[in-house]
């Protein structure tokens, strides 16, 4: 029994020894972990302190952009003086892809240094970084690194990321909903056009046209048609409506005419063609060879007048028809009442025969003669002077003479008595 008790005491001491060793190991591990945490916290605090002590910061609102080969993009740069002091900052491009062009601008002038006052509100938008991507750049992601170095030796870098893609290349457009129009000579044609800038930057487009001699073209913004423009600004990924007014000369010949219109920016040239179909000038006139629109006539007797019909237009006229409007019971006929074709610029003579009615009394009458086609017409108002026939005058004179002779014979015979 005593041997068993001794054995139990030995086991108890061994167990206590093991527990004491484990407790000492755990305590050592805890102390080590606490020291490690303290070291890490000290490192973080030191880093934060170092960051706070940095004199300048350079940043931009949009450091990552999508772009197209050939684009020129501007980044607005802001500066912060973390220590609250003013600094002169030297600006450089630390990294730039081959063939790319980049420079810093201040007030539209290329610069290499900028002064910040330490007042954050006054140091915003001081500098713009202009970046031009080559026209033939391949698709991909590119980085541009900018470096700012203060007069105290503090530095800060800014990485710009450009995702170049050809997907939007050429999507800018210049078009008209109705690019083809038709009208007669003397018509002014108005085209509603839309200029779309699908690029990621604002564009200024110069507007130009090519026209035949004597034609005029004016381009106005759709929202201000009173102001003709030679160039126009279009915001990135937006459109501008334009009204294009084309006026041909009065002497333009019949035919189809093409008017090229071009919108050119620093990055692209957009072309559009307007088509105008001139149907021709339709104009006809009716007169006489002397230009007089009057003649004499006698009751119930046919009188004639020579008419001159002229095609003053630049298109041949077909089915030219003559008609009249005369006093009641008068008769008007023509040597030919229909002309099959009258060529442009040509004239033709036609005789009109006018017969007043039998009971017409002496006086002036109006007779209208009209020449017409399906496209144009002209009317001439003739003054017709109706006179008494000279035959009856001679008869009257003869009667009077006979009466005089008869009276003379009567007086001679009875006067002797």
Reported as a single tens digit per residue, the pLDDT across 225-259 is 888 999 999 998 899 999 999 999 988 888 999 99
Strands 377-387 and 113-116 turn out to be unpaired
Tell if the pTM clears 0.75, that is, is over it.
no
Residue given tokens 């025969």 in the structure block: 353
State the virtual CA torsion across 42, 44, 50, 55 in degrees, nearest 10: -150
Ordered DSSP codes for 332-385: EEES-SEEEEE-TT-EEEEEEEEE--TTPPSEEEEEEEEEE-SS-EEEEEEEEE
Using one digit for the tens of pLDDT, what is the confidence trace for 108-158? Answer: 789 999 998 876 655 667 899 999 999 888 989 999 999 999 999 999 999
Question: CA nearest 372: which of 313, 333, 310, 319?
Answer: 319
Ordered DSSP codes for 306-334: EEEEEE-SSS-EEEEEEEEE-STT-EEEE
pLDDT at 417 over 60: no
Instruction: Compute CA 342 distance to the chain's CA centroid, rounded to the nearest angstrom.
Output: 41
Tell me whether residue 215 is exposed, middle or buried, using C-beta atoms within 10 angstroms of its C-beta: 0 to 12, 13 to 18, 19 or more: middle
pLDDT at 17 over 60: no
Element (H, E) at 21: helix 2-53
Angle at the Cα of 331 from the Cα atoms of 326 and 333, rounded to 5 degrees: 100
Q: How far apart are alpha carbons 253 and 281 in whole angstroms?
A: 8
Per-residue pLDDT band at 14 (split at 50, 70, 90):
low
pLDDT of residue 134: 92
Per-residue pLDDT band at 396 (split at 50, 70, 90):
low
**Cβ-Cβ contacts under 8 Å for 338 (sequence gap 6 or more):** 319, 320, 321, 322
Mean pLDDT is lowest, of 164-168, 228-232, 373-377, for 164-168
């Amino acid at each position: 029994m005593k041997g068993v008790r001794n054995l139990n005491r030995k086991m108890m001491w061994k167990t206590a020894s093991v527990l004491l060793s484990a407790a000492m190991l755990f305590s050592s591990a805890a102390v080590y972990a606490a020291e490690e945490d303290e070291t890490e916290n000290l490192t973080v605090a030191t880093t934060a302190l170092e960051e706070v002590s940095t004199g300048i910061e350079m940043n931009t609102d949009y450091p990552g952009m999508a772009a197209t080969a050939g684009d020129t993009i501007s980044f607005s740069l802001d500066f912060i003086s973390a220590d609250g002091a003013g600094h002169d900052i030297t600006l450089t491009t630390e990294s730039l892809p081959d063939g790319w062009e980049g420079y810093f601008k201040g007030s539209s002038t290329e610069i290499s240094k900028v002064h910040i006052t330490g007042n954050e509100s006054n140091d915003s938008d001081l500098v713009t970084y202009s970046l031009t991507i080559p026209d033939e750049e391949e698709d991909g992601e590119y980085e541009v690194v900018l470096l700012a170095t203060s007069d105290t030796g503090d530095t800060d870098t800014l990485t710009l990321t450009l995702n170049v893609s050809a997907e939007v290349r050429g999507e800018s457009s210049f078009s008209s909903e109705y690019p083809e129009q038709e009208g007669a000579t003397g018509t002014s044609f108005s085209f509603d056009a839309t200029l779309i800038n699908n690029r990621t930057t604002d564009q200024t487009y110069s507007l130009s046209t090519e026209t035949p001699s004597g034609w005029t073209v004016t381009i106005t913004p759709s929202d201000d048609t009173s102001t003709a423009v030679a160039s126009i600004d279009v915001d990135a990924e937006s459109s501008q409506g334009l009204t294009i007014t084309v006026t041909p000369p009065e002497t333009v010949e019949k035919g189809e005419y093409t008017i090229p219109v071009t919108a050119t920016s620093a990055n692209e040239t957009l072309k559009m063609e307007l088509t105008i179909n001139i149907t021709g000038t339709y104009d006809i006139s009716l007169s006489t060879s002397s230009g007089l629109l009057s003649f004499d006539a006698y009751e119930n007797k046919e009188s004639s007048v020579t008419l001159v019909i002229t095609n003053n237009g630049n298109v041949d006229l077909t089915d030219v028809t003559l008609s009249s409007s005369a006093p009641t019971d008068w008769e008007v006929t023509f040597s030919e009442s229909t002309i099959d074709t009258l060529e442009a610029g040509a004239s033709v003579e036609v005789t009109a025969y006018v017969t007043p009615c039998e009971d017409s009394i002496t006086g002036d009458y109006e007779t209208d003669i009209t020449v017409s086609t399906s496209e144009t017409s002209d009317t001439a108002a003739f003054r017709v002077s109706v006179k008494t026939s000279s035959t009856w005058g001679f008869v009257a004179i003869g009667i009077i003479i006979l009466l005089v002779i008869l009276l003379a014979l009567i007086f001679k015979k009875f006067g002797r008595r």
